[in-house]
Amino acid sequence: MNYIKNKLFIDKFSVDKIIKKFGTPSYCYSYDELKKNVLNFKKNFNKINPLICFSVKSNNNIKILNELSKFGLGADVVSKGELLAALKAKINPNKIVFSGVGKTYDEIDFAIKNKILLINTESLSEILSILKIAKKKQKRVNIGLRLNPNVDAKTIKEITTGKISNKFGLTETEVIKIINQYKKSKYLNIKCLSVHIGSQITNHVPYLKMLKALQNVIDKSKFYFEYIDVGGGMGINYNNSRQILNYKKYSDKISKFVKKNKVKIIFEPGRSIIGNTGYLLAKIIYIKDTTKIRFIIIDAGMNDLMRPALYKAYHRIIPTKKNRNKIFKLHDFVGPICETTDKFLTVKSYQKLKEGDNLVILDVGAYGKVLSSNYNLRENSKEVLIKKSKIFQIKKRQKIEDIIQ
């Protein structure tokens, strides 16, 4: 993304022209950015040749998943729907892991039928369910045990998952007990120890603590795990600052870990692969000036992008046409939804805007479209992908008639 003569371009396409053709609100993704992220991720961990399972919950567009499968990526799924999407996108079942605390009988059955790599289990009750289904099918099912390492990921409270107060995973004691009970099971094949401590992590230290917790389980259980699934969580730079997570320190420590334990590493990144590749294109409907605040009312709402309302998440908003006329007044960029939290950003000053101008909300590729809803009975936004000097529509805008039927 860059400005040429004050006009915004994404991969050589004028954003105003994209908007003219596809309308607003629309999500627009850059294939070039996606490729860059995948190659960077691989480069950061090239010493250990990991299996990279893209976290489908961050973006489940089939075309995007299909592009990722062409880069050799697998998938981390948390529902039958996500598993179906991954299979439809031609992701190899042998590269799919299934996590989540509440997998139903039907979901487990479907996962076994499709011969995926691993079902990462999160409770003893779930293990008993899998055992029951495996017995019925007379099959030995590959499972992982998800450890709750009780490590603080030092990220937003709402997206922390590795503390003992969080619903995820099993304690060290439980993991060891399960290993001792089921290591010779005819129906369960314990292949993996998995963990995921949270999302938007910007400090490498929690990751080092997490590795230590994994090592403790390996040492205490004296069990050989073929795979160690370290989850995802790598943070991105929403405020355009410099690289924030020290990949080198994390990668060095993992390399040592692999050497010592002779295991294969699985990563489940979502945001770090897709986050900065997505743009939400919107149009200003009205500008409403009050004594203190200038409300910029745009045609994208919290139903299109939930992150600011849900986590007070910060996303930059930039104009498609730049000018030098700055207005020094509090600006609130808001959507049309009847909720006060339907607000994307507040800034102290902004360039002069007018009704009908186009704006772009940045870094919305992860947990953007997937969290959208039909609240206020609004249709879901369109999705387009820029790839090799072409733009493809990769998801139609919903029709109101279809939603209300």
Binding site for ligand LLP (CB under 6 A): 55, 57-58, 76, 99, 159, 161, 196, 199-200, 231-234, 268-272, 307, 311, 366-367
DSSP of 227-255, one letter per residue? Answer: EEE----B---TT--S--S-HHHHHHHHH
Comparison of 95 and 196: residue with beta carbon closer to ligand LLP? 196
Least Å from the CB of residue 264 to ligand LLP: 17
Which letter does DSSP use for residue 376 in this model? Answer: G
Comparison of 8 and 210: residue with beta carbon closer to ligand LLP? 210
Please give the span between the terminal C-alpha atoms of the chain, in angstroms, as a whole number: 39
Q: Find the radius of gyration of the CA atoms of the chain.
A: 23
Least Å from the CB of residue 238 to ligand LLP: 10
Comparison of 344 and 367: residue with beta carbon closer to ligand LLP? 367
Least Å from the CB of residue 234 to ligand LLP: 6
Comparison of 69 and 200: residue with beta carbon closer to ligand LLP? 200
Comparison of 263 and 366: residue with beta carbon closer to ligand LLP? 366
Q: What are the backbone dihedrals phi and psi of residue 382, each rounded to the nearest 5 degrees, phi first? A: -80, 160
Cα gap 157→165, rounded to integer Å: 11
Least Å from the CB of residue 401 to ligand LLP: 30
Q: In what order do the strands lie in the sheet with 7-10?
A: 2-4, 7-10, 13-14
Least Å from the CB of residue 371 to ligand LLP: 6
User: Taking the CB of residue 244, how many other CB atoms lie within 10 A of it?
Assistant: 16
Instruction: Specify whether 53 is catalytic.
Output: no
Q: Which long-range contacts (CB under 8 A, 24 or more apart) does 174-183 make?
A: 174/124, 175/145, 175/147, 175/217, 175/221, 176/217, 176/220, 176/221, 178/124, 178/127, 178/145, 179/145, 179/221, 179/223, 180/221, 182/127, 182/131, 183/223
Cα gap 230→214, rounded to integer Å: 9
Return the active site residues. 338
